[in-house]
């Protein structure tokens, strides 16, 4: 019973990213289920047990979803595997997007060697609780690195900059390291690295920035002292232990997006989740909405060609990266200003979007993202 509850809970946490507090007890029978104050539920389980559930969510649709799941489970499915029940329910139309998103975030098996969470504290407040907020950091080395050669050096350098709770080598096409860094254990209150990186549960943008600076210094040290070339991919901020797995899986998506961006623009070796908000938002759209948006974009010019050609994609991404500042975009793209203007004219002629305008640029960017979502560049050697 306890196991079952944990299992369901894990699935929900995965699906919603919200925390659920389950209390399992045996304080007399409860008829079917009752809604408690504080958006909690309690329902009967077996002759003498009951389960009490609290959802830390202000989102009424999440609460409704939990409610429905509980109903479904109670009504007919004692026999069935609870995880299947939950998954079957999750497959229902209204919730498909979440599931799809999770599938897309799945790490390939070879890379998913990071140990799974051992237990989740039912009552909260365990060790792990104290370690959020934090980031998963995936440090990928250039293909030429022979891990045995320098792994000791590399670890030693990493530990000079970070205080990882866990650190694991991952073997794959290229050796890499996955580590978890809680912000609390970084005590970098000094001028070199800007504002403090630890402390508050809510990481502000400033904190993300200074973590970035820290990672840039790490990459530079790896190059100069370790003689290795590294890219760093940073997960979303893990604010709750339950987000752990989702954060790990988000790394793959960040990497993919970073590689695609890398293909068109020069970026630094640091790719944090927070740099890819637009792409993630697009990725999270329900399938139907994706199709509708792409169709709407195409309807500007019926024979518009999506996905955009590489040149046009570069032009668009360069303009976005330069805040639609034409001179800056030309510089970023290593392109003459007039060439850029000419490209934008052609883009307008091809698609009906004038990317000098903010709304057009955003709309085309979204349509572009939608149209290229399926492609995965297979460049492993590029710095992301």
Partner 1 sequence: MARVKLEHIYKKYTADTIVVKDFNLDIEDKEFVVFVGPSGCGKTTTLRMIAGLEDITAGDLLIGDRRVNDVAPKDRDIAMVFQNYALYPHMSVYQNMAFGLKLRKFSKSEIDKRVRDAAKILDIEHLLERKPKALSGGQRQRVALGRAIVREPQVFLMDEPLSNLDAKLRVQMRAEIRKLHQRIQTTMIYVTHDQTEAMTMGDRIVVMKDGIVQQCDTPQVVYSRPANMFVAGFIGSPAMNFLHGQVVEEGGRVYFRANGLSVALPEGRYPTLKSEGAIGKEMVLGVRPEDVHNEEVMLSTYPEAVLDASVEVTEHMGSEVYLHVMAGNQSMIARVNSRFQYRPGSAVKLTLDLNKIHLFHKDTEETVAFQQSERALASSEV
Ligand X SMILES: Nc1ncnc2c1ncn2[C@@H]1O[C@H](COP(=O)(O)OP(=O)(O)O)[C@@H](O)[C@H]1O
* Residue that the structure tokens 């909260």 belong to: 124
**CB atoms closer than 10 angstroms to residue 207:** 21
> What b/e sequence results for 259-278 when a residue is b if at least 16 CB atoms lie within 10 Å of its CB, and e otherwise?
bbbbebbebebbbbbbbbee
Residues sharing a CB contact under 8 Å with residue 372, sequence separation 6 or more, in sequence order? 260, 307, 313
Peptide bond connecting 133 to the previous residue in cis, omega within 30 degrees of 0 = yes
CA atoms of 42 and 103, how far apart (whole Å): 31
* Closest distance of CB 334 from ligand X, Å: 5
* Closest distance of CB 167 from partner 1, Å: 17
**E runs forming strands in 78-226:** 134-141, 166-170, 176-182
Site string for partner 1, 260-299 (x = CB under 8 A): ---x--x---------------------------------
* 189 vs 358, beta carbon nearer partner 1: 189
Q: Which residues within the stretch 136-165 sit at the binding site for partner 1 (CB under 8 A)?
A: 142, 144, 146, 149-150, 153, 156-157, 160-161
Give yes or no for residue 229 binding partner 1 (CB under 8 A): yes
Q: Which residues within the stretch 306-345 sit at the binding site for ligand X (CB under 6 A)?
A: 334
Token readout for 261 is 């961006």
Picked from ligand X, partner 1, none, the partner binding residue 146 (CB below 5 to 8 A depending on kind) is partner 1
Count of residues interacting with partner 1 (CB under 8 A): 35
Give yes or no for residue 382 binding partner 1 (CB under 8 A): yes
What is the secondary structure of 279-342 as a DSSP string? HHHHHTS-HHHHHHHHHHHHTTSTT--SSPPHHHHHHHHHHHHTTT-HHHHHHHTT--HHHHHH
Site string for ligand X, 253-282 (x = CB under 6 A): -------------x----------------
Picked from partner 1, ligand X, none, the partner binding residue 361 (CB below 5 to 8 A depending on kind) is none
* Closest distance of CB 290 from partner 1, Å: 28
The runs of H, that is alpha helices, within 38-194 are: 60-76, 82-91, 96-105, 147-161
> What b/e sequence results for 329-345 when a residue is b if at least 16 CB atoms lie within 10 Å of its CB, and e otherwise?
bbebbebeeeebeebbe
Picked from partner 1, ligand X, none, the partner binding residue 192 (CB below 5 to 8 A depending on kind) is partner 1
The enclosing H or E element of 351 equals helix 337-351
Give yes or no for residue 190 binding partner 1 (CB under 8 A): yes
Give the bridge partners for 41, in sequence order: 35, 53
* 227 vs 266, beta carbon nearer ligand X: 266
Give yes or no for residue 188 binding partner 1 (CB under 8 A): yes
Half-sphere exposure of 203 (CA within 13 A, CB side): 23
* Closest distance of CB 144 from partner 1, Å: 7
* Closest distance of CB 266 from ligand X, Å: 4
Give yes or no for residue 191 binding partner 1 (CB under 8 A): yes
* 64 vs 382, beta carbon nearer ligand X: 382
CA atoms of 218 and 179, how far apart (whole Å): 14
Picked from partner 1, ligand X, none, the partner binding residue 357 (CB below 5 to 8 A depending on kind) is none
Residues sharing a CB contact under 8 Å with residue 193, sequence separation 6 or more, in sequence order? 210, 213, 214, 217
Which residues contact ligand X by CB under 6 A? 266, 334, 382-383
Which residues contact partner 1 by CB under 8 A? 142, 144, 146, 149-150, 153, 156-157, 160-161, 188, 190-193, 214, 216-218, 220-221, 223-229, 263, 266, 331, 334, 379, 381-382
């Amino acid at each position: 019973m306890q196991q079952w509850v944990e299992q369901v809970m894990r699935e929900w946490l995965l699906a919603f990213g919200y925390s659920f507090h389950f209390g399992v007890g045996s304080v007399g029978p409860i008829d079917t289920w009752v809604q408690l104050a504080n958006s909690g539920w309690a329902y009967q389980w077996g002759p003498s047990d009951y389960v009490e559930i609290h959802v830390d969510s202000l989102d009424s649709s999440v609460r409704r979803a939990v409610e429905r799941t509980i109903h479904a489970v109670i009504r007919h499915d004692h026999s069935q595997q609870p995880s299947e029940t939950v998954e079957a329910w999750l497959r229902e139309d209204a919730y498909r997007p979440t599931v799809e998103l999770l599938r897309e975030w799945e790490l390939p098996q070879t890379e998913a060697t990071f140990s799974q969470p051992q237990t989740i504290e039912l009552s909260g407040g365990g060790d792990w609780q104290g370690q959020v907020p934090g980031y998963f950091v995936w440090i990928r080395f250039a293909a030429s690195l022979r891990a045995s050669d320098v792994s000791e050096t590399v670890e030693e350098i990493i530990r000079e900059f970070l205080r990882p709770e866990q650190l694991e080598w991952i073997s794959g096409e290229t050796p890499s390291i996955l580590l978890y860094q809680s912000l609390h254990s970084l005590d970098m209150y000094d001028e070199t690295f800007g504002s403090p990186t630890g402390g508050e549960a809510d990481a502000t943008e400033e904190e993300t920035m200074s973590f970035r600076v820290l990672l840039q210094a790490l990459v530079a040290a790896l190059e100069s002292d370790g003689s290795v070339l590294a890219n760093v991919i940073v997960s979303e901020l893990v604010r709750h232990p339950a987000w752990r797995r989702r954060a790990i899986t988000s790394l793959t998506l960040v990497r993919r997006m970073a590689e695609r961006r890398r293909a068109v623009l020069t970026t630094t070796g640091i790719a944090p989740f927070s740099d890819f908000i637009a792409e993630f938002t697009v990725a999270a759209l329900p399938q139907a909405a994706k199709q509708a948006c792409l169709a709407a974009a195409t309807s500007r010019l019926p024979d518009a060609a999506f996905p955009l050609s590489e040149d046009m994609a570069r032009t668009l991404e360069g303009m976005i990266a330069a805040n639609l500042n034409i001179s800056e975009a030309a510089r970023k793209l290593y392109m003459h200003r007039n060439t850029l203007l000419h490209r934008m004219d052609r883009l307008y002629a091809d698609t009906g979007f004038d990317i000098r305008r903010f709304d057009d640029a955003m709309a085309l960017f979204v349509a572009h993202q939608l149209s290229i979502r399926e492609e995965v560049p297979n460049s492993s050697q590029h710095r992301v």
